[in-house]
Structure 1
């Protein structure tokens, strides 16, 4: 057996074990008995210990050194990804990796309870422990360089905080100007009523299949904070329901379908290999955001969705698809990031990016986080936070140690803007399909240009190859100004 074959056999087993670990996390968020949390934390820590040992096994380094250079792009990509994981894993002590897994597993339950009870003080000690552990891990990964930059590499390889900060600074003036202009105009009629939650779930599953999600290799369940999990032949998504807001369920589902479809559509030859998963969270978010926004919130798609909602819920207070389109894209300075309109969404992310950088750099401590959040939110959105579940407790990310994840949401929006412009050029009759619920032209284009390749290229190369140009925030901002300018007459 060649060194490459031995390395890939070993990597497949590691990937399979990582999928099992991910399934533990899925179960914890959807079906696990509440009292099982302490045991699950130990199970998660045990799995992380096994995975860390495999990722740092000296044989990996020996196999990497023994594999000759090769022009084959799949072999080259697998070697690049294995080497990157090996070098990063070796910097983190095994005991620290296991402790982070144990504490963040427990922290999820503590966060969920504190969120339900609107009690940040009850969560703060646990979050403080998570932050302390992640600072240690970040310092180990940075090895003297910028700690936050080192954390970013887990989610968007090649990105730097300085680069993201510059991009966000270019975006903010146009976003603020658009928001200001839109909020000066009368808001369209909102969807109102009571919407059966069972009917919402049935509609969610129907819409998921309409967007190409393969239910034979997936499932849709409910969770406090929607997410997707898995890759290859077992890709699961979650959503949530609100009896007064079916858009919450509908668009959470479409968003997660974007993630799930990405993993389902990677070429089957790459199953359980390093290449066989999404290349970065920024590219992953580009898929969820283009599914949710440019496709799912489009005027054409509203024409198909309107009768589907009538069938699911009965008569609506909105008279026609045009009114539904306006309601879907209604702009308002709400508290919740996941429910934010496209005009406000990135402002939510810019705030989180600044706060978590300050936390990691010790310019901000956990005990001051709630006040810092509330002050920044009021300054950015003009609204005072009324309770922690609408503020600092709304997102699960920090409880599970995902520092460096938030900026990939806006980066994903930027990528989605580029992809949407390229898709419109490649599929000129896109709206014809959207209006009748035929997403195939859109989803096949994304499968062929982005999803099927998995991790073959770097994140930026993936977007550049799909679009023909380097990623830029300009297409996203142009799209937002054209769309909401038209809707609001500004």
Structure 2
């Protein structure tokens, strides 16, 4: 066997162990008994220690030096392996295992603090997580920007400076659109009523099927914070229900199906290799957001969803036209995952700015709740009422995912670009969506983006699919066109 063959055989085992670690995380969030938390932390830490040792195995360096790639696929495999090898080698095994252990435990502690709206109880836990992440960032940055070093885990090649420029261009038009819509005399009505969980989960399943989720390689469960987990032939999603807010369940499901469809759509030849998953979280979010918003919240598709809800719940208090307005209405709210399309990115920008300050050390964890509440009121115009609406609403920081939040907005930007190209490529898109048929749209995304997995760098992946360099204009144009029509602007 060649050095490349030896390296890839070794890598496949590492990738398989990584999938096992991911399955432990899925289990922890869905069906694990509460009393198992401490033991699970030790299990995850032990497995992370094994993975860390494999990722810095000296033989990898030797194989990389000797390997002679043939073709772009082999070259891409080596590029990913070298990147992980070099990054992992900078982080001591002790720190990697401790991060895995602490974040496993802190996840449960966050959930309890969120349930009781007690940030003070969680603050010491978060202080420990932040301290460990700052230590890791310093190891990875090698004298560069520590936040950029963490961001690189989720969006290779991106920098806080470049994202700040993009986000700065988004904010004025988003705020102007929000203010104009809320001041308009045209205000869509909200959907009212109580919708039992059994019915919500039935429609959730119908939505997953409509968007092409392969249940022979996946499943839907419930979780406090919806997520997608896995790759290849085992990609699982979760959702949540609220009796008075069925859209929370439906669009959480469609969002996670977008993630899962990306993983299920990667070329099977790349399974259990570095190319066998989504290339970055920004590109991943482009799939979840285009499924959820441009397709799932379109006037055509909501007409079909209206018929499905009527079938399950009986007559609704809104006709199909008013139902489209209800799905997309701008509204006061605190929760990022429940936000309308116009205000969603403002929630992300708040988190992006605060987490950069936490990693830089200019904001202490003890002052985080106050900083969050002040920023939220400045951005949205009303105060946070309790911690579960504010600083405790998201799981990300409790599990050390610093650098993840900006990829949500980057994903929206990518989705805007992809949707512009998709509309040109699929002229019958609206007619298809009105029948609950997404195959042409999701097939185009699979062919032009999803199947490549990690073959190309993130921005190149999107540019190859849409035919132009990604930028914020298509997203802003889409939002202004859509909500201008809904609100009569």
Q: Tell me, yes or no, whether TM beats 0.5.
A: yes
Distance, in Å, in 2 between the alignment partners of 1:314 and 1:360 is: 51
Q: 1:469 matched to which residue of 2?
A: 468
Task: Report the CA distance between 1:73 and its aligned residue.
Answer: 1.1
Distance, in Å, in 1 between the alignment partners of 2:22 and 2:253 is: 19
Q: 1:341 matched to which residue of 2?
A: 340
Q: What do the CA deviations read for 1:197-256 (whole angstroms, capped 9, x no partner)?
A: 011111101110110000000000000000000000000000000011000000000000
- Quick check: 1:22–1:229 contact (8 Å CA) kept in 2? yes
Q: 1:189 matched to which residue of 2?
A: 189
Q: What do the CA deviations read for 1:383-412 (whole angstroms, capped 9, x no partner)?
A: 100000000000000000000000000000
Q: What do the CA deviations read for 1:15-59 (whole angstroms, capped 9, x no partner)?
A: 000000000000000000001000000001001000000000000
Q: What do the CA deviations read for 1:315-349 (whole angstroms, capped 9, x no partner)?
A: 2111x211111000010131000000000000000
1:304 aligns with 2:304: yes
Distance, in Å, in 2 between the alignment partners of 1:437 and 1:195 is: 21
- Quick check: 1:418–1:471 contact (8 Å CA) kept in 2? yes
Q: 1:289 matched to which residue of 2?
A: 289
Q: 2:249 matched to which residue of 1?
A: 249
User: Matches of residues 91-490 of structure 1 in structure 2 within 5 Å?
Assistant: 91-185=90-184, 186-318=186-318, 320-490=319-489
Distance, in Å, in 1 between the alignment partners of 2:369 and 2:69 is: 52
- Quick check: 2:210–2:436 contact (8 Å CA) kept in 1? yes
- Quick check: 2:4–2:69 contact (8 Å CA) kept in 1? no
Distance, in Å, in 1 between the alignment partners of 2:321 and 2:139 is: 54
Task: Report the CA distance between 1:90 and its aligned residue.
Answer: 0.2
Distance, in Å, in 1 between the alignment partners of 2:68 and 2:270 is: 21
- Quick check: 1:26–1:229 contact (8 Å CA) kept in 2? yes
Distance, in Å, in 2 between the alignment partners of 1:187 and 1:161 is: 37
Distance, in Å, in 2 between the alignment partners of 1:57 and 1:152 is: 25
Q: Secondary structure at the match of 1:235?
A: strand
- Quick check: 1:228–1:235 contact (8 Å CA) kept in 2? yes
- Quick check: 1:49–1:98 contact (8 Å CA) kept in 2? yes
Q: Secondary structure at the match of 2:310?
A: helix
Q: 2:22 matched to which residue of 1?
A: 22
Distance, in Å, in 1 between the alignment partners of 2:69 and 2:232 is: 28
Instruction: Give ranges in structure 1 of 5+ residues lacking alignment.
Output: none
Distance, in Å, in 1 between the alignment partners of 2:447 and 2:320 is: 31
Instruction: Give ranges in structure 2 of 5+ residues lacking alignment.
Output: none
Task: Report the CA distance between 1:187 and its aligned residue.
Answer: 2.3
- Quick check: 2:348–2:409 contact (8 Å CA) kept in 1? yes
- Quick check: 2:286–2:415 contact (8 Å CA) kept in 1? yes
Distance, in Å, in 2 between the alignment partners of 1:332 and 1:217 is: 37
TM-score, normalization: structure 2? Answer: 0.99
Task: Report the CA distance between 1:313 and its aligned residue.
Answer: 1.3
Distance, in Å, in 2 between the alignment partners of 1:122 and 1:212 is: 42
Distance, in Å, in 2 between the alignment partners of 1:55 and 1:187 is: 55
Aligned residues: 488
Distance, in Å, in 2 between the alignment partners of 1:114 and 1:171 is: 33
Task: Detail structure 1 runs of 4+ shifted over 4 Å in the superposition.
Answer: none
- Quick check: 1:333–1:344 contact (8 Å CA) kept in 2? no
- Quick check: 1:92–1:137 contact (8 Å CA) kept in 2? yes
Q: What do the CA deviations read for 1:167-214 (whole angstroms, capped 9, x no partner)?
A: 001111100100110110242110111101011111101110110000
Distance, in Å, in 2 between the alignment partners of 1:362 and 1:198 is: 46
1:81 aligns with 2:60: no
Q: 2:40 matched to which residue of 1?
A: 40
Q: What do the CA deviations read for 1:264-283 (whole angstroms, capped 9, x no partner)?
A: 01011111011000000000
Distance, in Å, in 1 between the alignment partners of 2:26 and 2:205 is: 18
Please give the root-mean-square deviation of Cα atoms over the aligned residues, in Å: 0.6
Distance, in Å, in 2 between the alignment partners of 1:282 and 1:183 is: 29
TM-score, normalization: structure 1? Answer: 0.99
Task: Report the CA distance between 1:69 and its aligned residue.
Answer: 4.6
Q: Secondary structure at the match of 1:288?
A: helix
